[in-house]
Structure formats: C-alpha cells, structure tokens
A and B are shown apart, each in its own frame.
Chain A
C-alpha cells in the first residue's frame, strides 16, 4: 500500500509490525555482545520496552493518531529497561510529542516528529555516545529528512530511514573501538533496524506473525482491569480507617480549564501533596492531555473535587486499602496493602542469585528487585518497588550500568519519596557499600557520601566462561576459557578458573595496598572449587583479609570486590 498520509490505525499497525519483527529477531540482537559472554540482553530489553508500548495501545481503536501515540509513549516509558530500551522509549516519546493533537499526518509532519525524537533521545542521555542506537536513529532521520519532499509518501520516508539506518549500523563498528576489536556491530542500533524493517514490511503489505509478550505489564491494566473480588470482612462496622484509599484515575485535561500545552504535572503533584489532601505514594504522569495518577489518601472525595479543576475523568478506581483482595488483585497491590512501617531511609537494590538476594536483605535492603545483566528491570519495576515502601528517602542501587538509566527514569517519575540513585555498577560494589550501611548519622549527604566513597574504593571483578573464540583488549580467548573482567575490562583468560581468578587479582592496581577481598560464588562453583581458590589466595596474597559467600548467581562463576 502507498500511504500519502498516516492515521492512528495505520500508525498502530506500523509500530506493532515493528515490535513483532524485533520479537522474531531479538535473540540475534542479544548475541551482539562485545564480550564473549552469554549475557547480552539488548534485544530482550528493547523488545520488552516496545512491547509494553504496543500492549498499551492494543485495545485502543482510533483513527486519530494522537489517541494512539500518547498511550504508546507512556507504555514504552514505563516498560523501558536497559540503556537501549530507555533510549528507545525516549526516541518514541519525542516522535509521539510530534504526533499529539493530530488526527492524520503527512510526510513533513512525520519528518518533524522524528526530528523531535532525535532531540528527545539525545537530551535524555547525559553523555551521548556515537556509534550506538543514537547515531543510527539520528543519521537515518537526517537522511530521510533530506531526501523527502512534500510530495513524498510515508513509504518513501520509511524506506529512506531504513536505508540509512542499515548503512549507519554497519558504520558503528568504525566509531567504537570496542566494537571493532570484537568484530560486532552495535546491538542497540541493530535492534532499532529490526523495528524499522518491520515497519517497512507493513508498508509493503506484509503483516508479521509473531506472539508479543505481555510480560511487561500494561500500565493501563491496573486501572481498566478486571473486576476485583474483595473480602469485605476485612473492614468491619467498627474498624477505623487506617490506611486510607488507594485512588487511581486517568484524567483528560480540558482546554476550558487549563493551558494544556504548558501544563506542568507538578501542579497536580503539589495539590495531592498539599495539606488538604495529604496524599502519599504519589505517582503522576502526563502525556499531552492525559494524566495518570496514583495516590493514597484518606479523603478521595477531596482528590476528585480538586482534580476536576484541571480536567474530566476517563477512569477512576478507589479502594479501601484495609481490604485483602484476592489473586486477581495482583501481587504488588496486595504487598502495598501489607505495608508498611514508615522509615526515614529505605534501600532498594537490584540483585541476581538467591544467595546475593538473601545477603542483601540481611544487610537491611528493604526491597530487592530481581534482575541483573541478563534481565534488566524496567522503569516500572522500580516504581513498583518504590510503591511498596513508606519512606522519606529511598536509596537505589542499580548494580549494573545498563540498569542505571531505568532507575533514574523511575526516580524522576515517582513523587512519593525523595529518591537517590547510587551509581553502583556491580553486585560486589553494592555488597561492599551495604556492609557499611549505617543511617545513624541521620544526615543524607553524609550517608550518600559514605556509600559513594565505599563504591569508589571497590574494584570489582568477574570470572565467567567464553562462548566463542575472540580477541578483546589484546587478550586471545578460546571458546571455553575462563575470562577475567576487572571493572568492566576483560584482562585475562585461562583454562583454569582458579588461575584465572588469581591472575586477575594480580592485575588490580596497587594490590599490596588492598586489605579486604569479598568473593561471591556462582551457582556452578562447587565446595572443592571454593576451597582450592581460598587456599590459592591465602598463599599468593597473604596480606588480604578475605571471605566467600554463596551468591548463587548464574553465568558468573565468581564475582569479587577488592578494596
């Protein structure tokens, strides 16, 4: 089909086809990993991100493009996981900004919307790196913008966009030295190209057959979802309202009431926070004229009255939080009801491996989010974790550089507490920081300073196995070798894991000035392995104080922190 203009229905089908194409190819994207380690997850992350957006619009049937783009954008924003996922969500956020309030667009509108996507995506990244999805998207957009005229079709735009995206993707290998040495192209860029290919296939009349995952939750689900079975006995005639009402609604801002274009969501947050309503656990998001709010309050009537100053309700859900709902309620809502001791400081940390999770909890982490290198939690996963807490300050340890962005995005969206994201990029770093956990000073600056200092003093190491022959940083690696990675740099490889470990330790700068070594053993490490390793360390590094815990993590035989 040749499209001169694009309407809501077509846009929905276009993006859905893009998501399905990525779903069919995400594993290949996952495998584009610089290190020969089976933990690439870019494809999975991007797929889950766009699927969360597509699931959000699945039940919306409108020819008005603005009706589709806004929920798509919020769905992706909340579903975003991994750096490439977060960037993808920002790309679509920018594009969708350009589509809001439109019914149908022509090719020049589309060009402008894509340019907004470039601006939004670059703006969302603190230090944009060229040779990544950012470059691929930007170059493809600039090229298509140059090639199309007002007489071009929507098909022309996407064909040019794809043509340049592919060229740009193949060029990423020259822009980033790490890619060049490993001989791979950028994975985020590759994921994006699959999405565009799927979109072009739709325009070529090919509807892709693929089952989209609904695992990433649909942000509208909890509001528009199933009727709930409720145990009414949980709140009797003499009970006193203690927890208040969990109040959620979607509001359509009205032009007759506010200036929608310049509306600041903070206005609503301030009202909910105010002395009148005294709301807590506030989450408020807006996308154009749609505002989605979650708040706990003892007087939902007041909330409804106040909110009508800004617009009219699309949906409302109000529940007495004392009631224990049954399974259909969803785990997180029930946990929410179970809460919550008020705390001045709470800690949320991401961890993989049962042993690690248990240790973190023993150290005083309030919510451990499952996840790590191969399974990045989404922005919404973080928000759900925050909602489980009643704390003035929440300190977040993302423990992976690919999770930091989603954590920060969640911190920005959540208004129920002051949130600080510690830039911890590994489990060992977090482990060390947690051993120094101490809120007794009651001074947030000091507490954060101590955490950051603890993290700065840690060198983290990882021992895992290569799944292919390759060469990284000049280290020649054969398939099956144990490889040693120090602070993200692959430095050594050996057939023997104990030797690999001690060789890697020798690479630690000023090793003789180090004092403490903490070893976290993976699920494949046997007692004999452990014994052998500890013996070897005590002989070779007698000045170190060391200990090992059973972390139970996958893929990585050993993680360690040396400080």
Chain B
C-alpha cells in the first residue's frame, strides 16, 4: 500500500496544531480588498494568520469593506500536489463544498488532464465533502484517523462519499450585511428584506449549499436555537467532539453556546477560528457548530 497525503484547503478551519497533530496539508486560496482610500490588498487565505490578525480581518468586514475571495489556483495545486506526487505519495484532496467553491472541480479537471497523465501510477483523488469550515475540517480529521488506523486511500474515499451527509452544520450570523454584500447564501430577498434583529439559521444541505433554513428574532434566541437544533440532530454525542468555527463573536455569545452545548454529553466542545474565505461572506459574529448526526437529506430547490 502506497503512502498517501491528506490535503484540505483554506476553508477547512484546521489550526496549525490540528494539522500537525494529524498530518494534514492544505492548499491556500486568496483574499483581496480595496481600502476606503483606494489601496488594493491581497493576501493568502492562511489559516495561521501571519499577515493580519483574525480580529483585524473581521473588524475590516464589520466596517463595511467587501472582501473578495479566490478559489485554489492551478499553481497552488501544482505546488502542493506535485511535492507529494514527486515523493511517490498518493493524494487525497478534500476541498471546500463544491457548492461554495470551484476548487474541487478544478482539482478534478487537473487530475484528469494533467496529474494522472504525469503520474499514471499514483492514486489522486479530489473529494467533495458537501460542507465547509470545521465540517470539512472534521471530515479531514476523521480521514486522518482512518489513515492512522491503517485504512487505504480508497477505503477512506469511499467512507467520505458514504457518510458525508452525516456531518452537520448549524450556524447563525450576527448581521446580514456582509452576507448581502457577498450574495453567498441561497435565500430569497423576501426572506431577509430590511430587517432589524433578524438572524438566519444556516445549515449545510445534502449537496453542500449553505441554506437559510429558518430565522430567529434576536441574537440570543438565534444562539439558543442553534443549540436546540444540534440536540435534535446529533447521534452518539458521547463518541464525538463538537466543533465550533467562530468569527470573533462576543465572548458572552460564544460562552452561551459552549456552555449549552456542554449540556449535551459530547466528549468535548472545542472552538477554532473561522477562516477568511467563508468568513468573507458571512462576516463578524458568524458562529457555526459542527457535529455528526442523522443523515441530511434536505436539498434547497
């Protein structure tokens, strides 16, 4: 059995510590924006935030700046994939949900057109996890565990394709402003309108769309509703860690969610900083909870 590498990308929200512990690589996307005085900025969507702090980035969004994002480029795939392929390793790329980014489909095209031809003896897979943020991160972690247990790359690919709909997201946003600017979430205008205090609840549907499934009045109600939905959908919480991707929510808001989630008998509840790509569309105060539960079957029409 060949050695293989597990690769994520900028939307997977895995911290340096988690990536090193589980031996996971990632391909970087990019973000760019224009400041109010007309200066253009571009930086890697780096999960370790070397150029700008997590807080500064989300304050920038809260201040009304529209941040643009770029999917993983061909050059980046070349850089990351080739390094491992050259070493004789197979590649398992688990990218951002294909409904939110074209990275997986670009990777698949490059595999078909280029990598497979250049490395015909290697197994090179691009898999769509139908979810992003720490949902994608969680699938990457589970894949790494399976690898460490001795599963083959094909077995892991099959596992993901079979069980990806059991990975849930329940999220809420602090404000609709960033979302409106970016136009990222599938929901009719009438659903939002010009509303004060209305907070959407976002789930990831069975094909990886971010869907506004319902709305709540007031932040506190929305946060408590998120916990309620987790409770309703979770399966075997005692066997899993519940993950939260957070975009600089107020400490008391985060604390409210964490303490309520801890009342569900998860092995642990852990918080990671939300990456800049999804964050650029959802804005400061986005709080997403990830866990395994009943299979998601709903698809937004």
Q: Which residues of A contact B (CB under 8 A)?
A: 359, 362-364, 432, 435-438, 454, 457, 515-518, 545-547, 549, 563
- Across-interface contacts of B141 in A (CB, < 8 A): none
Complex Cα spacing A364 to B192, Å: 11
- Count of chain A to chain B residue pairs whose CB atoms are closer than 8 Å in the complex: 47
Taking a contact as CB atoms under 8 Å apart, the answer to whether A545 and B196 are in contact is yes
- Across-interface contacts of B196 in A (CB, < 8 A): 435, 516-518, 545-547
Complex Cα spacing A216 to B214, Å: 42
Partner of B198, one of A359, A364, A435: A435
Tell yes or no: B218 within 8 A of A by CB: yes
Interface pairs (24), CB distance under 8 Å: A359-B194, A362-B193, A364-B190, A432-B217, A435-B195, A435-B197, A436-B198, A436-B217, A438-B214, A454-B217, A515-B221, A516-B196, A516-B217, A516-B218, A517-B196, A518-B196, A518-B197, A545-B196, A545-B219, A547-B196, A547-B197, A563-B197, A563-B217, A563-B218
Taking a contact as CB atoms under 8 Å apart, the answer to whether B191 and A438 are in contact is yes
B64 to chain A, nearest CB (A): 16
Complex Cα spacing A545 to B218, Å: 8
Which of chain B's residues has its CB closest to A434's CB? B193
Complex Cα spacing A223 to B283, Å: 59
Complex Cα spacing A515 to B196, Å: 10
Q: Mark B215-238, 1 if CB is under 8 A from A, else 0.
A: 101111100000000000000000
- Across-interface contacts of A517 in B (CB, < 8 A): 196-197
* 7 nearest A-B pairs in the assembled complex, by CB-CB distance: A516-B197, A515-B218, A547-B196, A435-B195, A545-B197, A518-B196, A364-B190
Kindly identify, within residues 199 to 217 of chain B, every residue whose CB is under 8 Å from any CB belonging to chain A. 214-215, 217
Partner of B190, one of A363, A516, A546: A363
Q: Mark B241-255, 1 if CB is under 8 A from A, else 0.
A: 000000000000000
A330 to chain B, nearest CB (A): 31
Which of chain B's residues has its CB closest to A435's CB? B195
Q: Contacts A516-B196, A545-B218, A563-B217 given; 10 further ones with Cβ under 8 A?
A: A435-B195, A436-B198, A438-B191, A438-B215, A516-B217, A518-B196, A545-B196, A546-B196, A547-B196, A549-B194
- Across-interface contacts of B215 in A (CB, < 8 A): 436, 438
Partner of B220, one of A359, A362, A438, A515: A515
Partner of B217, one of A364, A437, A515: A515
Complex Cα spacing A516 to B221, Å: 11
Taking a contact as CB atoms under 8 Å apart, the answer to whether A437 and B218 are in contact is no
Q: Is the interface of A mostly helix, strand, loop or mixed?
A: mixed
Complex Cα spacing A359 to B193, Å: 9
Complex Cα spacing A563 to B219, Å: 12
Taking a contact as CB atoms under 8 Å apart, the answer to whether B193 and A435 are in contact is yes
Find the residue from B193, B195, B217 having the highest chain A CB count within 10 A: B217
Complex Cα spacing A563 to B197, Å: 9
- Across-interface contacts of B220 in A (CB, < 8 A): 515
- Across-interface contacts of A563 in B (CB, < 8 A): 197, 217-218
- Across-interface contacts of B190 in A (CB, < 8 A): 363-364, 437
Which of chain A's residues has its CB closest to B213's CB? A440
Q: Is the interface of B mostly helix, strand, loop or mixed?
A: mixed
- Across-interface contacts of B214 in A (CB, < 8 A): 438
- Across-interface contacts of A516 in B (CB, < 8 A): 196-197, 217-218
Find the residue from A362, A363, A435 having the highest chain B CB count within 10 A: A435
Which of chain B's residues has its CB closest to A457's CB? B217
Taking a contact as CB atoms under 8 Å apart, the answer to whether B217 and A362 are in contact is no
Which of chain B's residues has its CB closest to A548's CB? B196
Kindly identify, within residues 69 to 119 of chain B, every residue whose CB is under 8 Å from any CB belonging to chain A. none
Give the number of chain B interface residues (Cβ < 8 Å).
15
Which of chain A's residues has its CB closest to B222's CB? A515
Which of chain A's residues has its CB closest to B196's CB? A547
Complex Cα spacing A563 to B198, Å: 11
- Across-interface contacts of B197 in A (CB, < 8 A): 435, 515-518, 545, 547, 563
Kindly identify, within residues 129 to 185 of chain B, every residue whose CB is under 8 Å from any CB belonging to chain A. none
- Across-interface contacts of A454 in B (CB, < 8 A): 217
Complex Cα spacing A435 to B194, Å: 8
Complex Cα spacing A516 to B199, Å: 11
Taking a contact as CB atoms under 8 Å apart, the answer to whether A362 and B194 are in contact is yes
B195 to chain A, nearest CB (A): 5
Complex Cα spacing A163 to B125, Å: 96
B217 to chain A, nearest CB (A): 6
- Across-interface contacts of A436 in B (CB, < 8 A): 198, 215, 217
Complex Cα spacing A547 to B193, Å: 13
Complex Cα spacing A123 to B66, Å: 62
B203 to chain A, nearest CB (A): 13
B22 to chain A, nearest CB (A): 39
Complex Cα spacing A563 to B196, Å: 11
A523 to chain B, nearest CB (A): 19
Taking a contact as CB atoms under 8 Å apart, the answer to whether B194 and A515 are in contact is no
Taking a contact as CB atoms under 8 Å apart, the answer to whether A435 and B191 are in contact is no
B87 to chain A, nearest CB (A): 51
- Across-interface contacts of A546 in B (CB, < 8 A): 196
B179 to chain A, nearest CB (A): 16
Partner of A515, one of B193, B195, B219: B219
Complex Cα spacing A518 to B218, Å: 12
Complex Cα spacing A437 to B198, Å: 11
Taking a contact as CB atoms under 8 Å apart, the answer to whether B193 and A363 are in contact is yes
Complex Cα spacing A284 to B195, Å: 40
Complex Cα spacing A438 to B218, Å: 17
Complex Cα spacing A454 to B195, Å: 14
Which of chain B's residues has its CB closest to A518's CB? B196
- Across-interface contacts of A549 in B (CB, < 8 A): 194
Complex Cα spacing A240 to B221, Å: 53
- Across-interface contacts of A457 in B (CB, < 8 A): 217
Which of chain A's residues has its CB closest to B192's CB? A435
Complex Cα spacing A518 to B196, Å: 7
B199 to chain A, nearest CB (A): 10
Which of chain A's residues has its CB closest to B197's CB? A516
- Across-interface contacts of A363 in B (CB, < 8 A): 190, 193
- Across-interface contacts of A547 in B (CB, < 8 A): 196-197
B291 to chain A, nearest CB (A): 24
- Across-interface contacts of B221 in A (CB, < 8 A): 515
A520 to chain B, nearest CB (A): 11
- Across-interface contacts of A515 in B (CB, < 8 A): 197, 217-221
Which of chain B's residues has its CB closest to A362's CB? B193
Complex Cα spacing A436 to B132, Å: 27
Complex Cα spacing A563 to B215, Å: 15
Which of chain B's residues has its CB closest to A513's CB? B220
- Across-interface contacts of B217 in A (CB, < 8 A): 432, 435-436, 454, 457, 515-516, 563
Complex Cα spacing A408 to B283, Å: 45
Complex Cα spacing A517 to B191, Å: 19
B174 to chain A, nearest CB (A): 9
A361 to chain B, nearest CB (A): 11
B20 to chain A, nearest CB (A): 40
Find the residue from B193, B197, B198, B219 having the highest chain A CB count within 10 A: B197
Complex Cα spacing A229 to B190, Å: 40
A456 to chain B, nearest CB (A): 12
A443 to chain B, nearest CB (A): 13
Complex Cα spacing A86 to B161, Å: 65
Complex Cα spacing A515 to B221, Å: 9
Complex Cα spacing A437 to B194, Å: 12
B232 to chain A, nearest CB (A): 16
- Across-interface contacts of B218 in A (CB, < 8 A): 515-516, 545, 563
